[in-house]
Amino acid sequence: MSHSDHCETRRGFLRASVGLTAAALGACASSERARGAPKKVLVLGGTRFIGPHIVEAALARGHRVTLFNRGKTNPELFPECEKLRGDRDGDMSALEGRRWDAVLDTWTDMPRHVRSAATLLGPNVGQYVFVSSLNAVADLSQPHLDETAETTPLEPKDEDNPSAELFGGRKARCEKLLAELCTDRYTIVRPGLIVGPRDGSDRFTYWPVRIARGGEVLAPGSGDDPTQFVDARDLAEFVVRLVERRTLGLFHVVGPERELSMREVLETCVRVAENDARLTWVDTRFLLERGVAPWTDLPAWLPSLEPGHAYWTLNVSKAIRAGLAFRPLDETVRDTLAWWATLPEARRAELKRGLAPERERELLAQWHARPS
Ligand SMILES: NC(=O)c1ccc[n+]([C@@H]2O[C@H](COP(=O)([O-])OP(=O)(O)OC[C@H]3O[C@@H](n4cnc5c(N)ncnc54)[C@H](OP(=O)(O)O)[C@@H]3O)[C@@H](O)[C@H]2O)c1
């Protein structure tokens, strides 16, 4: 098997250098210039959700990007980039003997993947950036957590256990392994909810799409509950900045820089929709008593009924000092809707998260009929 799927010429992305193959370039670079020397960057993954945004951000700033993946997920993306084929559970020989300024490990939560990649690449890269998750933090209900927060434990016997409940523990274990294997060259970003175009989970998309459909919308709680998330493109630009400046360390990544309430998020969706949508705020206890699940039935919403607890009040000042910046919420909402409109009708017929329309109508009817 050949390890490289060199540049295809079917369509260019970000003004690829016409006529030059990736083989000739080593990897392709966009015509825009980065501040400082362009970096040679290896992305482990790069073709599902945050990966493409990171690749686009890196190319837009003139860096040279190589992708390593199996060629199964959106293999048509980035024809201008060098593509190395392999499997992190199998043959990784395409990475042997190669050097990069930085490796961006975007997607895995399996410690064995980090162990093998960091062992193989560690000595040959200037920086190893791992995309972890806020789930690596043990207790997210504590207010104003920063990067010193305790991490989620994981029994050694569970390292290869793919159970969803152990996700945070596995991410925390990946982080520890990276610190052990790439002592003087690692960077870890811990995003919270990542939103925007290409997000296949609908965990934020529910709100712009539901509100764009108009009518009476069930809105959770009083509107004052805090929420935090990060546009995938802001995360991507931050990661590229960390590489350009070779910034090491650990960073919590959610936004924005100020407190954000559910009211502001939903009212922004209403403003962008410019339709007849109207929000009806329904009491938290009323919803919980009827079995409504925060976060899944009503995305991006995690109320706390316990005094002293507060989800989504994380302190992200360290990341902001390192260059994390946030686009306006209107832009995230508008672009999410524009991306959603490009999806096939069958995909758009049913959101993966959020209340089904009948359930929402039923709850609203019960809310209006409650004894005053
Ligand atoms: N969504 C959120 O709200 C959220 C929140 C916090 C953290 N995160 C983290 O954000 C990241 C999201 O990742 P993503 O899926 O968007 O990353 P991505 O880099 O866009 O896509 C995943 C890549 O992995 C490749 N891949 C899968 N299995 C592979 C294997 N065995 N060997 C080699 N390559 C393989 C896929 O290509 P092939 O299939 O072609 O191999 C694909 O390119 C994850 O780390 C997640 O934990 C997400």
Digit-coded pLDDT (tens) for 320-358: 999 999 999 999 999 999 999 999 999 999 999 999 999
List the residue whose alpha carbon is closest to atom 46 of ligand 1: 107
Q: In testing the pocket of ligand 1, which one of 1, 3, 42, 50 has its CB within 8 Å of the most ligand atoms? A: 50
List the residue whose alpha carbon is closest to atom 45 of ligand 1: 107
CA of 90 to the centre of ligand 1 (A): 17
pLDDT higher than threshold 80 for residue 31: no
Residue 44 pairs in a beta bridge with 68, 105
Which CATH number does the domain 206-227+259-312+332-369 belong to among 2.50.20, 3.90.25, 2.60.120, 1.10.10?
A: 3.90.25
pLDDT at 33: 53
In 3-state terms the chain splits into helix, strand, coil percentages (rounded to 5) of: 35, 15, 50
φ, ψ for residue 170 (rounded to 5)?
A: -65, -40
Residues whose CB falls within 8 Å of the CB of residue 249, separated by 6 or more in sequence, listed in order: 147, 187, 188, 318, 322
pLDDT mean across residues, the chain: 91
Distance (Å, rounded) from C-alpha 85 to C-alpha 252? 31
Q: Are 100 and 66 in contact (CB under 8 A)?
A: yes
Q: Are 69 and 47 in contact (CB under 8 A)?
A: yes
Q: Are 81 and 66 in contact (CB under 8 A)?
A: yes
CA of 335 to the centre of ligand 1 (A): 22
Alpha carbon 143 to chain centroid, angstroms: 22
Q: Give the number of the atom of ligand 1 that is nearest the alpha carbon of residue 49.
A: 16
List pocket residues of ligand 1, CB cut-off 6 Å: 45-52, 69-73, 87-89, 106-107, 109, 131, 133, 191, 193-194, 201
Q: Give the number of the atom of ligand 1 that is nearest the alpha carbon of residue 47.
A: 43
Q: Are 286 and 224 in contact (CB under 8 A)?
A: no
A 10 A CB-CB count for 64 gives: 22
pLDDT band per the 50, 70, 90 thresholds, residue 231: very high
DSSP code of residue 182: S
CA of 224 to the centre of ligand 1 (A): 33
Q: What is the chain's length?
A: 372
Least confident piece of the model among 63-77, 98-112, 151-165, 302-316: 302-316
Q: Give the number of the atom of ligand 1 that is nearest the alpha carbon of residue 203.
A: 3
Q: Where are the domains of the chain?
A: 22-197+229-253, 206-227+259-312+332-369
| DSSP H or E segment with residue 213 | none
Distance (Å, rounded) from C-alpha 199 to C-alpha 173? 25
pLDDT at 115: 98
pLDDT tens per residue across span 149-189: 999 999 999 999 999 999 999 999 999 999 999 999 999 99
CA of 292 to the centre of ligand 1 (A): 30
Q: What CATH number is given for 22-197+229-253 in this structure?
A: 3.40.50.720
φ, ψ for residue 249 (rounded to 5)?
A: 120, -165
Q: In testing the pocket of ligand 1, which one of 73, 114, 140, 206 has its CB within 8 Å of the most ligand atoms? A: 73
Distance (Å, rounded) from C-alpha 104 to C-alpha 84? 14
What mean pLDDT do residues 196-220 have? 98
pLDDT at 14: 24
pLDDT tens per residue across span 46-75: 999 999 999 999 999 999 999 999 999 999
Percentage of the chain beyond pLDDT 90 is: 88
Distance (Å, rounded) from C-alpha 72 to C-alpha 130? 22
Q: Give the number of the atom of ligand 1 that is nearest the alpha carbon of residue 50.
A: 16
